[in-house]
Amino acid sequence: MKPYILTGLAWAAAMVAVSCGIVIYASGLLPESNQIPLHFGADGMPDRFGNKSDALMVLWLLPCVTAAVSAIMAIAPFLDPRKQNLAVGRKAYVVTWISVTTLMTLVTAGVAFGMVKGAGQPFNTSGMVRWIIAGAAVLFIVMGNYLPKTRSSFIFGVRTPWTLSSDIAWEKTHRLAGPLFMIAGVLGLIGAFVFSGIFLALQLTALILSVVLILFVYSYFAWRSADDRDDGTSLTV
């Protein structure tokens, strides 16, 4: 197994272990109540409640999702027809893997904290949501730093019909993706502490959709002007 995959798996295993520890700790603090918050609205207030069993089911689902995502990221490189290209950009892949599992662990901690604090009493989680949104924004900044260094791959990067059929289009698109991701991340980070209510999540969603749309359209025009647009082999390892 490739060293970069082992690195990702080791970090993911640590994050899953931390998440499980958080759930076990929270389970000892949750009361036997039917008023444990299970879902929070855009205003940060709980809008759905359940008992302790319901809460534990939700909490244990989170480290399971983290483990599942990590398993997919560990297996995917072996399925990529351009696995050699992915190996060239392995640092970007591992950093993204580490960042995603770390963020999911923070989400687990935030949800557990919200359940414990909100059991049977009014509790606003908007402060917790701000930090989760900020974490997602930092993830975008990190990805923006590494995206320009990636090579054509079916499982990682900005994958459109045009970037996958032309390595020149891939390279041009990812050169643009880097600064766009970083700008979106910085704006999202600022917005996490400026906006409130439903606009807290909407501002980051709007930024992400804008970046996706720009890159999708740009990749087409990059492909139209690319010399290798028919076979996409000039830069492939």
DSSP reduced 3-state for 46 = strand
Residue 5 tokens, joined: 């995959």
pLDDT tens, residue by residue, 101-114: 999 999 999 888 88
pTM: 0.82
CB contact set of 28 (below 8 Å; sequence gap of 6+): none
Rounded to whole angstroms, the Cα distance separating 179 from 222 reads: 17
pLDDT tens, residue by residue, 39-70: 776 666 777 888 899 999 999 999 999 999 99
